[in-house]
Amino acid sequence: MSSNPQYLSGNEIRNIFLDFFAQRNHQILPSASLVPEDPTVLLTIAGMLPFKPIFLGQRTPEFKRATTSQKCIRTNDIENVGRTKRHQTFFEMLGNFSFGDYFKEQAIAWGWEISTQVFGISPQNLVVSVFKDDDEAFGIWRDQIGVPIARIKRLGEDDNFWVSGPTGPCGPCSEIYYDFHPERGDENIDLEDDSRFIEFYNLVFMQYNRDASGNLTPLQNKNIDTGMGLERIAQILQKVPNNYETDLIFPIIQTAAEIAGIEYHKSDEKTKVSLKVIGDHVRSVVHMIADEIRASNVGRGYVLRRLIRRVVRHGRLIGISGEFTTQVAETAIALSESAYPNVRQREAAIKAELQREESNFLRTLDRGEKLLEEIIQEVKQRGETQISGESAFTLYDTYGFPLELTQEVAEENNLTVDEAGFDAEMQKQVERAKAAHETIDLTVQGSLDKLAEHIQVTEFIGYTQSAATAKVEAILVEGVSQEEAEVGTEVQIVLDKTPFYGESGGQIGDRGYISGDGIVVRVEDVKKESDFFVHFGRIERGTLRVGDHVTAQIDPACRRRAQANHTATHLLQAALKKIVDDSISQAGSLVSFDRLRFDFNCPRALTAEEVQQIEEQVNTWIAEAHAAKVEVLPLAEAKARGAVAMFGEKYGDEVRVIDFPNVSMELCGGTHVSNTAEIGVFKIISEAGVASGVRRIEAVSGPAILDYLNLRDKVVKDLSDRFKVKPEELPDRITSLQSELRTSQKELETLKVQLAIAKSDSLLQTAQTVGDSKIIVAQLEDVDPESLKTAAERLLQKIGNGAVVLGSVPEQGKVSIVAAFSSEVNKKGLQAGKFVGAIAKICGGGGGGRPNLAQAGGRDASKLPEALEKAESELKSALG
């Protein structure tokens, strides 16, 4: 390796780092998915997160040393992206890890060696920090590495003591900073000065366990967890002013600039910020979609949708009017594919998701522009000169309308925007986001983190056994560890071995019993927390104690149902690929005892013919009695054979493969039938869309088919009895009744309109002359909205130049208001849509429509007289 390397690309830096530690007996491991195994975290936010079970002592590491380049996403500081030199949502964390092997001395020595000798950074450009009480680390830096005392800074707990959460593994850390201006000397060094220093390598010395009282006890096995930000070290070595101008991100920025017809280096700061946001966020969304995250309004799907919308918004700000995200995504894919091949493999899915979300959001932006027009008109009507911060934030958060664009449009209309109010609303959102992302919570199911070093992980034997003798390792009551629990108590039990399947891979946990000497516990659910199987149940007899030897017995009937439904999902996916599209992939699943649910990526609804073909294909495979072949294979070999991976699952070096030869082969840890014939029958209940580009099939199979048929039979018999016809005559009878109902409804609508007209005609004599117009404002009793509209139009036609406002309470809790204005009234500045919407707010509602005719609704009927009084007053004021 060169001691004075020339320009290094981001890819070269990554490879050099991994090779450096591989030569020092570290196993190079691939990056984990951005969908973490840890259920307490939405996304993978740190390089150490995939190793959480090892740090907790719940899983024995296969290697004592490891090194990774882990892709991460954090969005708690999203508003700083593009505005600072270093904030990003997507970043790669280079790391070296020791699991009970080397510790501080070696970690520090290697950290210094790779920084100075391998990457060629001058020691004069480096400053290190240590925890204020960590004399050991201070001494290593000073005496063994030779860093001058003036360039070793002691920092407090907030900066240099790493914690996983309120409890759990923790320890001091040491950080290496790059000094851009060593000529300023060593006096008064302030590591908070971002213009001078950037922290690029963090060494965490995980040596303690913190309990609920805050007490620190030394860990039996001390661990090393380090992180070197790839983008930060690239900025330093490539000598560019910020992370965005490294070769990891800048080509994306250049693509966006070319589409906009601008040049990055000649742009103003505001434009550069937008280009940086696009460059960063596009990397995030490409990798998120590659890891099978789909845009939605909840969870990580919402994070993805928000990032895509920010890309589109900032594209608008720099002058891009059409769709462009797939073009910049192509650049991001090309930059990443050598290190992360799945981005190229998922290219079609990435571009399809981006195109769909961008197209939908552009329509949303159009609606935002219309809403802004209405807000401006309302502000002017009130005689005000400022758009409220709340309104501006609603435009920003709901419609993706940037504050800058709102300000520009407001300025064109001689208005301002309450920036302080907007910032206050934004701060509330930032605080909510930070609360969800600030820490990596390593606790597992209440007290399990404190028990992790003292109890045995659960051995699962449920593939071959339905019952087993086991030892009670832990008892939790409401998440708190207990030594014993009495009859009637809801408990969570950890055993040293279990035949109970723990909920994972879409399959729910087994049911059954745990029994012993005078003890019976009914188990209602089982969840897998890291390598512990937690049995949720209720003690029905006796007192259960830690250390008891018990018999764990699953409910075989429930297991058979789950097995049938789980194998059926595999056959269903194979049928979808065969009949609809081979590129279809799973987007989620549920395997329960009574039904199965399978979500899959597909841009369109299936035809009735396709659904029938899929059902017939699955039943054909069932009838053909294909035997299952279950193997444990190296992951690479399983993939080479064509095994399909299940959505959201994490795989080790060896995987369990469920193969029904020539039908289906998947990586799966679930329980399955040994032969497809055991399923019996498969029936699709429904096919529907559940999100943009995601469809859902619900079905039943095996023993659950009888339940389904019994329910349907009961419904048919009931309907036959009610209609006094045979089952086969039901369709004709229902069609006849529907026809009769439609005829009756039409007659009723005609009568309602006639009644409303009759009632309204009596209002002609109440018309008031205001200026050169006439107005009628009145309440009609028990008139539905459509009839109310007809009555208002008729009255306006009869009075000519004027305005009619009618209100009614068609049913409890509902208010209907209609406004009909003549063209002469419109010319005086009154528009029915805006007028009736403002009036309806008095009744707790809103609405709108055309300038000449509009309708609104409300909820508070008691306020209708007040609303109509307000309407009359405003009409007289405007027309008089």
Structure tokens at 360: 């939908």
Q: Contact 134/172 with Cβ under 8 angstroms?
A: yes
514, β-bridge pairs: 521, 552
Q: Contact 240/66 with Cβ under 8 angstroms?
A: no
How far is 543 from 338, CA to CA, in rounded Å? 59
Structure tokens at 859: 């909820």
Structure tokens at 574: 């194979």
491, β-bridge pairs: 537
Q: Measured in Å, how far apart are the chain's first and last C-alpha atoms?
A: 89
Q: Where are the beta strands (DSSP E) in 434-496?
A: 459-460, 467-477, 480-482, 484-485, 490-495
Q: Contact 186/147 with Cβ under 8 angstroms?
A: no
Q: How many CB atoms lie within 10 A of CB 270?
A: 11
How far is 251 from 249, CA to CA, in rounded Å? 6
Alpha helices in 686-799 (DSSP H): 704-723, 730-761, 785-799
672 annotated binding-site participant: yes
How far is 310 from 316, CA to CA, in rounded Å? 10
What angle is formed at CA 432 by the lines to CA 429 and CA 436, rounded to 5 degrees? 140
Instruction: Kindly list the distances between the CA atom of residue 207 and the CA atoms of 131, 134, 169, 217, 735, in Å, as whole numbers in the listed order.
Output: 13, 12, 7, 8, 75
Structure tokens at 385: 């000169």
Q: Contact 331/251 with Cβ under 8 angstroms?
A: yes
- Cβ neighbourhood burial of 572 (10 Å; 0-12, 13-18, 19+): buried
Helix (H) or strand (E) segment spanning residue 8: none
Instruction: Kindly list the distances between the CA atom of residue 475 and the CA atoms of 140, 537, 551, in Å, as whole numbers in the listed order.
Output: 44, 11, 16
522, β-bridge pairs: 513, 538
How far is 674 from 628, CA to CA, in rounded Å? 5
Q: Contact 173/207 with Cβ under 8 angstroms?
A: no
Residues in contact with 644: Cβ distance below 8 Å, sequence separation at least 6, in sequence order: 573, 586, 664, 665, 666, 667
Q: How many CB atoms lie within 10 A of CB 693?
A: 20
Of residues 596, 631, 813, 579, the one with CA closest to residue 702? 596
Structure tokens at 98: 């020791």
287 annotated binding-site participant: no
Instruction: Kindly list the distances between the CA atom of residue 671 and the CA atoms of 36, 324, 464, 468, 500, in Å, as whole numbers in the listed order.
Output: 23, 45, 10, 17, 11
Q: Contact 667/648 with Cβ under 8 angstroms?
A: no
Instruction: Kindly list the distances between the CA atom of residue 589 and the CA atoms of 569, 570, 645, 648, 730, in Å, as whole numbers in the listed order.
Output: 8, 11, 13, 10, 35
Helix (H) or strand (E) segment spanning residue 6: none
173 annotated binding-site participant: no
Q: Contact 815/860 with Cβ under 8 angstroms?
A: yes
* Helix, strand counts (H, E) of the chain: 25, 36
Instruction: Kindly list the distances between the CA atom of residue 844 and the CA atoms of 55, 372, 704, 732, 855, in Å, as whole numbers in the listed order.
Output: 55, 22, 48, 45, 14
Annotated binding site: 566, 570, 668, 672
Annotated binding site for Zn(2+): 566, 570, 668, 672
